[in-house]
């Protein structure tokens, strides 16, 4: 998720993503979001499980040709457009087992014959230390894998370029975010009298203050991400000078986890506010969501309007034009027929399907409808997204189900009831959809 941020921060013109695990069928969608106007390629076509190497580049800077590829390496030819300089580049993601890496060492050695004495850059994850000092804990002996790696480097007649920046880049995986189910469970156990729909609406309202307090404790998400990123950079610079300091490494691992959690929280927050639910990767911490939010707010506000008589309304008086229009529109009297013309309904359901559409709603249907809603969809009037209901379903599922079934049995819907979204998604057994408008 940090790819877009790294490209921006370091003004990159070429970027390689290793161990992506992206399914080949989803590559195009993901890469268009991550690389945007850049060109890209991958070795997904020759990988057994997910894509191992993805490469993106700025077409205004390079002309790129893929010379050869395998599951462990992609060989490229880069031509700089400004002066037509040419350089060969090999992006490596080596196998975990040293025996499997032997195929890679042979591939690189053979490619040396093609490259000759021309400029050649080999980079990536070799899954093997070249020297003792490449491991943070060091090593007392040369392993078979290390020796074979050294032999390959000598055969290719290349040398290890002095590093710049952080040397040891392995980090722990982030946690799954803040646990909120205890808060939901405590509020949901509150005794509320009334029909099913009323009890659900009341409990959702009771939950708002505790959840707002939880959000408040997180502080300003944007400032939090910026602060953690600066802290992580500082820690990594200290580790670079003192790699054996275990306290620094523990602090770096914890800060890295906190940064990833905060970045994910910020992304979700901006997605919900901007009501952009079609992005799945990239764009994290970018100005895109802020721009989307501003544009949406602009579109949702009407500053000036003319009524049917040409009278101009501005600012706070705009609402008056709408009120007068609909008062006249809905309040006018005229000839109204309660019998629709036959041409109005050109398609009708068969009696068999129509009967199934009005059959009793089951608990399984309600849950299926809820879990078919995307978690990033915009929240309804109550402010809760589908992601909340899915995450808290073990606690609130029975009450939500009872409230929805209550609507279908009584035909009455409580104001701000979440069942609107579920009712609109009810599916009959023939695959037809029933849409109810409120």
Tens digits of residue pLDDT in 194-224: 888 888 888 988 888 888 787 666 667 778 8
Q: Please check whether residues 152 and 24 belong to one and the same domain.
A: yes
With respect to residue 281, please indicate whether it lies within any of the assigned structural domains.
yes
With respect to residue 341, please indicate whether it lies within any of the assigned structural domains.
no
**What pLDDT is attached to residue 433?**
38
**What pLDDT is attached to residue 109?**
94
- Read off the pLDDT of each residue in 414-434 and give the average, rounded to a whole number: 46
Residue 282: band (very low, low, confident or very high) from pLDDT cuts 50, 70, 90: very low
With respect to residue 290, please indicate whether it lies within any of the assigned structural domains.
yes
pLDDT tens digits for 345-359? 778 888 888 887 778
- Read off the pLDDT of each residue in 34-42 and give the average, rounded to a whole number: 91
**What pLDDT is attached to residue 437?**
30
Per 3-state DSSP, what percentage of the chain is helix, strand, and coil (rounded to 5)? Answer: 50, 15, 40
Q: Please check whether residues 41 and 105 belong to one and the same domain.
A: yes
Q: Please check whether residues 148 and 36 belong to one and the same domain.
A: yes
Listed residues 261, 283, 300: the one ending a domain: 300
Cβ neighbour number for residue 155 with a 10 Å cutoff: 14
pLDDT tens digits for 115-135? 999 999 999 999 888 876 666
Residue 13: band (very low, low, confident or very high) from pLDDT cuts 50, 70, 90: very high
Per-residue pLDDT at 429 exceeds 50: no
Q: Please check whether residues 20 and 119 belong to one and the same domain.
A: yes
CA gap 54, 45 in Å, rounded: 11
Q: Please check whether residues 114 and 184 belong to one and the same domain.
A: no
**What pLDDT is attached to residue 376?**
60
Q: Please check whether residues 38 and 140 belong to one and the same domain.
A: yes
Q: 158-162, 165-169, 330-334, 401-405: lowest mean pLDDT where?
A: 165-169
With respect to residue 93, please indicate whether it lies within any of the assigned structural domains.
yes
Q: Which domain holds residue 275?
A: 166-173+220-300
Per-residue pLDDT at 7 exceeds 50: yes
Q: Please check whether residues 213 and 357 belong to one and the same domain.
A: yes
Q: Please check whether residues 308 and 431 belong to one and the same domain.
A: no
pLDDT tens digits for 81-95? 999 999 999 999 999
**What pLDDT is attached to residue 127?**
87
With respect to residue 342, please indicate whether it lies within any of the assigned structural domains.
no
Q: Residue 93 — φ and ψ, nearest 5°?
A: -135, 95
Residue 283 token pair: 């764009």
Cβ neighbour number for residue 20 with a 10 Å cutoff: 22
Q: Please check whether residues 79 and 122 belong to one and the same domain.
A: yes
β-bridge pairing 304-306 and 51-57: unpaired
Q: Residue 409 — φ and ψ, nearest 5°?
A: -80, -35
**What pLDDT is attached to residue 136?**
53
**What pLDDT is attached to residue 286?**
52
- Read off the pLDDT of each residue in 248-261 and give the average, rounded to a whole number: 83
Q: Is 65 helix (H, G, I), strand (E, B) or coil?
A: strand
Name the DSSP letter for residue 38.
S
Q: Please check whether residues 137 and 187 belong to one and the same domain.
A: no
pLDDT tens digits for 309-337? 888 888 888 888 888 888 777 766 665 66
With respect to residue 339, please indicate whether it lies within any of the assigned structural domains.
no
Residue 9 token pair: 């921060």
Q: Please check whether residues 241 and 145 belong to one and the same domain.
A: no
What is the total count of domains within the chain? 4
Percent of the chain scoring above 70 in pLDDT: 74
Q: Please check whether residues 7 and 147 belong to one and the same domain.
A: yes
- Read off the pLDDT of each residue in 63-85 and give the average, rounded to a whole number: 95
With respect to residue 337, please indicate whether it lies within any of the assigned structural domains.
no
**What pLDDT is attached to residue 253?**
83
**What pLDDT is attached to residue 280?**
43
Whether the predicted model's global pTM rises above the 0.95 cut: no
β-bridge pairing 14-22 and 51-57: antiparallel
Per-residue pLDDT at 168 exceeds 60: no
Per-residue pLDDT at 408 exceeds 90: no
Q: In what order do the strands lie in the sheet with 73-80?
A: 62-70, 73-80, 86-93, 120-125
With respect to residue 142, please indicate whether it lies within any of the assigned structural domains.
yes
């Amino acid at each position: 998720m940090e790819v877009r941020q790294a490209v921006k921060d370091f003004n990159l013109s070429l970027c390689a993503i290793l161990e992506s695990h992206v399914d080949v069928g989803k590559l195009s969608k993901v890469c268009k979001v991550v690389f945007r106007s850049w060109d890209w390629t991958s070795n997904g076509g020759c990988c057994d499980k997910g894509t191992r190497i993805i490469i993106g580049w700025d077409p205004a800077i390079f002309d790129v040709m893929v010379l050869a590829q395998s599951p462990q390496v992609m060989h490229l030819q880069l031509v700089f457009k400004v002066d037509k300089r040419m350089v060969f580049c090999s992006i490596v993601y080596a196998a975990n087992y040293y025996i499997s890496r032997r195929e890679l060492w042979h591939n690189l050695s053979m490619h040396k014959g093609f490259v000759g004495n021309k400029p050649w850059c080999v980079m990536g994850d070799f899954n093997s230390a070249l020297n003792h000092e490449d491991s943070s804990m060091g090593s007392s002996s040369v392993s078979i894998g290390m020796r074979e790696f050294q032999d390959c480097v000598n055969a290719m007649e290349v040398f290890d370029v002095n590093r710049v920046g952080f040397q040891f880049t392995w980090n722990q995986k982030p946690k799954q975010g803040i646990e909120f189910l205890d808060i939901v469970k405590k509020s949901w156990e509150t005794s509320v009298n009334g029909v099913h729909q009323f009890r659900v609406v009341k409990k959702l309202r009771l939950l708002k203050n505790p959840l707002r307090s939880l959000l408040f404790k997180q502080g300003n998400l944007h400032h939090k991400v910026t602060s953690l990123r600066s802290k992580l950079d500082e820690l990594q610079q200290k580790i670079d000078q003192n790699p054996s300091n275990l306290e620094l490494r523990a602090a770096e691992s914890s800060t890295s986890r906190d940064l990833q959690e905060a970045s994910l929280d910020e992304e979700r927050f901006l997605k919900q506010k901007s009501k952009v639910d079609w992005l799945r990767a990239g764009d994290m911490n970018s100005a895109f969501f802020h721009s989307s939010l501003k544009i949406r707010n602009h579109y949702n506000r009407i500053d000036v309007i003319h009524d049917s008589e040409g009278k101009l309304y501005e600012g706070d008086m705009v609402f008056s034009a709408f009120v007068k229009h609909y008062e006249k529109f809905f309040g006018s009297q005229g000839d109204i027929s309660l019998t629709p013309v036959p041409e109005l309904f050109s398609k009708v359901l068969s009696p068999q399907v129509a009967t199934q559409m009005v059959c009793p709603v089951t608990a399984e249907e309600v849950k299926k409808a809820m879990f078919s809603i995307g978690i990033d969809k915009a929240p309804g009037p109550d402010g809760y997204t589908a992601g909340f209901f899915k995450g808290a379903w073990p606690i609130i599922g029975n009450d939500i189900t009872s409230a929805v079934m209550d609507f279908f049995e009584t035909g009455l819907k409580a104001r701000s009831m979440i069942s609107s979204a579920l009712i609109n998604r009810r599916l009959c057994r023939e695959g037809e959809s029933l849409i109810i408008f409120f």
